[in-house]
Amino acid sequence: MNFFEKLRKLSKLQLIFLILAVGFVVYFNSLFNGFVWDDEEQILNNVAIRSFSNLPLIFKSSTFSTGGAGLSGWYYKPLMTASFMLNYSIWRLNPFGFHLFQVLLHLINAVLVFLLFSALFKPPLVSFFLALVFAVHPVNSESVVYISAVQEVLFTFFVLGGFLILLKFKTKKSLITGAFLIFLALLSKETAILAIPIILVYFLLFEKDKVFSWIFSSLAILSGYLILRVGIAKIPFAHFSIVPISEATFSERLLTIPWEITYYLRVLLFPRILATAQHTVIKNPADFSFWGLGILVLIFLSATIWTVLKLRSKLFYFFVFWFFCSLVLILNIFPLDMTVAERWLYFPLIGFLGMMGIIFAWINQSFPSLSRLFIILSLVAIVSLGLRTIVRNSNWRSGLSLYEHDIKINKTAFDLQNNYGVELFRVGRIDEAKIHFERSISLQPKWWTSFNNLGAVYERKGDFSEAEKMYQKSIENGNYYLAYEN
């Protein structure tokens, strides 16, 4: 029996074991990473996570701690903070435990993706390879190794679990259980609201008798969420942000959409260049990034429509809806905190892989002689993606290593310049830190944090007069609590 025959004869349990094993090997190096970026505010400085007695508090306020300023902001992700609370109770401030929790949760999601695809289409080997791609794809690295992005992994876990239960629900109890898991997903991240229309479309396509039950359940889910968020926590959905895409006009945000879509397609298909803090804004319709990339987007949409018409598969319609519905939410029609972010693709990737799975299954059925070639190409792709993920995991080893790498790719990000300056300051490279704080200010003169940090540089150098000016500017721009303390 050759390799290909052995692979085809593996049981579902053996395939699941392989998914877990390969995924764990790829993310093993991330277990030894430290706390990075917002981890300082969400975990290190967040006293609310240090006692389970604060559990009611995280359901009545924002999940974002700003150290001396306490819990504040427009974020409402209580289950994310509850996960930090759980990990802190076991590991205290040892980042290893936080990373282990996140990696294991991601691997469970990869298994759930496999189970979902296996339930929806054949052959199982296609579902296996798609789940492996999900497990090791570099675009997921940020969601898996960045502790403060655990909400992506967490809400996806609840959505997949809830959807799998709802797929097979025959009783009122299973409907309630599935709906409750979707509710928990919403408490992990607001993006989980996507599950409501996605599941509705599935029922409309395949199980119309469940449509009314799901609409009623959805209303209950949304009502419960709004009562908690707006009624009890009093956290609105609108927020103020100084990032370029948030300051951009509506027309500028629309002009930026082709750049965003092509960026996401590029990192999905060719994830060679990855970086955080992307703040590109297209302001001129004559810019190639609008009309040139717009042509590429039209070609992609045309190819998708052609495939829909060619396959005439309701399942393909479903995954097209999953991908594009979740993509629309991250195109800054309503402004977000960045123009693009790799972690936002964690959930849309499942829809994208579902589309690819239907196409691969059709090719396998239409041209069975190509099945071995498909397996070989899949293995090559998975190895390549896994190696790229291992490298990206190492970029996230520390704040210094992350910013030092990403700033070479993304030189115009005001927050990246500031964060790199902070890490340089901490290791005593004061003069270099000063340069990056000044660059941050020149890129975004409204941001208070960079002025505060530049003030700390002047204070370290003994120039107290200039330091006071910077602290005062920080207070004027944002009423920044650290500037008061300094």
Q: Are residues 416 and 358 part of one domain?
A: no
The set of residues, in sequence order, having a beta carbon less than 8 Å from that of 262 and lying 6+ positions away, is: 293, 296, 297
Supply the pLDDT for residue 225: 94
Q: Which residues of 181-207 are buried (b: 16+ CB within 10 A; e: fewer)?
A: bbbbbbbbbbbbbbbbebbbbbbbeee
Q: Are residues 252 and 211 part of one domain?
A: no
User: Measured on CA atoms in the order 324, 257, 359, 106, is the torsion positive or negative?
Assistant: negative
Residue 191 amino acid letter: T
Q: Are residues 135 and 114 part of one domain?
A: yes
Q: Are residues 266 and 221 part of one domain?
A: no
CA pair distance 254, 21, nearest whole angstrom: 43
Q: Which residues of 21-38 are buried (b: 16+ CB within 10 A; e: fewer)?
A: ebbeebbebbbebbbbbe
Q: Say if 399 falls within a structural domain.
A: no
Tokens found for residue 213? 């039950």
3-state secondary structure string across 101-125:
HHHHHHHHHHHHHHHHHHHHCCCHH
Q: Are residues 143 and 68 part of one domain?
A: yes
CA pair distance 345, 175, nearest whole angstrom: 28
Tokens found for residue 214? 């799901």
Q: Are 374 and 384 contacting, i.e. CB atoms less than 8 angstroms apart?
A: no
| Boundary residue ending a domain (366, 388, 423) | 366
Q: Are 339 and 281 contacting, i.e. CB atoms less than 8 angstroms apart?
A: yes
User: Domain total for the chain?
Assistant: 3
Supply the pLDDT for residue 236: 75
Q: Are residues 178 and 299 part of one domain?
A: no
DSSP 52-74: GGGHHHHHSS-SEE-GGG-EESS
Q: Are residues 169 and 44 part of one domain?
A: yes
Q: Are residues 284 and 220 part of one domain?
A: no
Domain with 476 in it: what CATH number? 1.25.40.10
User: Measured on CA atoms in the order 302, 306, 311, 314, is the torsion positive or negative?
Assistant: positive
DSSP 142-181: HHHH-GGGHHHHHHHHHHHHHHHHHHT--SHHHHHHHHHH
Q: Say if 389 falls within a structural domain.
A: no
CA pair distance 44, 125, nearest whole angstrom: 43
SS3 356: helix
Tokens found for residue 96? 């290893």
| Boundary residue ending a domain (205, 232, 259) | 232
Q: Say if 22 falls within a structural domain.
A: yes
Residue 32 DSSP class: G
DSSP 426-456: HTT-HHHHHHHHHHHHHH-TT-HHHHHHHHH
Q: Are residues 438 and 349 part of one domain?
A: no
Domain housing 336: 244-366
Cβ-in-10-Å burial (0-12, 13-18, 19+) of 227 comes to exposed
Q: Say if 462 falls within a structural domain.
A: yes
Q: Say if 171 falls within a structural domain.
A: yes
Q: Are 304 and 171 contacting, i.e. CB atoms less than 8 angstroms apart?
A: no
Q: Which residues of 263-277 are buried (b: 16+ CB within 10 A; e: fewer)?
A: bbbebbeebeebbbb
CA pair distance 452, 270, nearest whole angstrom: 39
Tokens found for residue 16? 């699941």
Q: Say if 400 falls within a structural domain.
A: no
Q: Are 247 and 209 contacting, i.e. CB atoms less than 8 angstroms apart?
A: no
Q: Are residues 275 and 221 part of one domain?
A: no
| Boundary residue ending a domain (303, 335, 366) | 366
CA pair distance 403, 123, nearest whole angstrom: 43
Q: Say if 372 falls within a structural domain.
A: no
Q: Say if 390 falls within a structural domain.
A: no
Averaged pLDDT in 10-residue chunks for the chain of 486 residues: 70 93 98 95 90 89 54 75 96 97 98 95 86 98 97 98 89 91 96 96 93 95 93 74 89 95 95 94 88 86 83 91 96 92 98 92 78 85 97 97 95 94 95 96 92 94 92 79 49
Tokens found for residue 304? 């998708």
Supply the pLDDT for residue 4: 61
Q: Are residues 269 and 223 part of one domain?
A: no
- Backbone φ/ψ region at 334: left (φ over 0), alpha (ψ -120 to 50), beta: beta
Supply the pLDDT for residue 57: 87
Q: Are residues 292 and 222 part of one domain?
A: no
